[in-house]
Amino acid sequence: MYLVADISVEICAAKSCKLCTQYCPEANTIQYSDEMGKDQGFKYGSAYVAVDRCKGCAQCVWVCDNMAKNNAIKMIMIDQLPKVALTENITYGEKSTTAVLASPVVG
Ligand code: SF4
Ligand code: SF4
């Protein structure tokens, strides 16, 4: 078991600053979806984490808390996440990505 970043769609989709996507040191780990917030009735899309790529460094938490001042990201044990984005379930568009959420990888 290990910690991964989890983004609150409710908080992120109200702000949608996209700042964390520029600071994660792991390529293609924090993604952005135009649909993820809007399909839940929020104003904007939301950032989300491909948990199988997340190394648990918590840099994104610092960026969201201290630079963006939005407090939308928490570190959570991977087996406590109900459904997550996995790299193999993400499709890439021109401006946004779409993830089909699945049970997390554990172990
Ligand atoms: S920094 Fe926070 S509010 Fe901004 S896109 Fe990332 S998770 Fe959303
Ligand atoms: S914890 Fe580190 S590796 Fe994981 S999404 Fe945040 S910045 Fe990226």
pLDDT tens digits for 3-61?
999 999 999 999 989 999 999 999 999 999 998 888 888 989 999 999 999 999 999 99
pLDDT at 107 over 70: no
| Closest among 62, 61, 40 to 49, alpha carbons compared | 61
CATH class of 3-102: alpha beta
pLDDT given at position 37 = 81
pLDDT given at position 75 = 98
Contact 37, 44 (CB under 8 A): yes
Residues with CB under 6 A from ligand 2: 5, 24, 26, 29-30, 49, 54-60
Which numbered ligand comes closest to the C-alpha of 70? 1
Ligand 2 center to 40 CA (angstroms):
24
pLDDT given at position 5 = 98
- Mutate-to-test residue for ligand 2 from 8, 20, 24, highest number of ligand atoms within 8 A of CB: 24
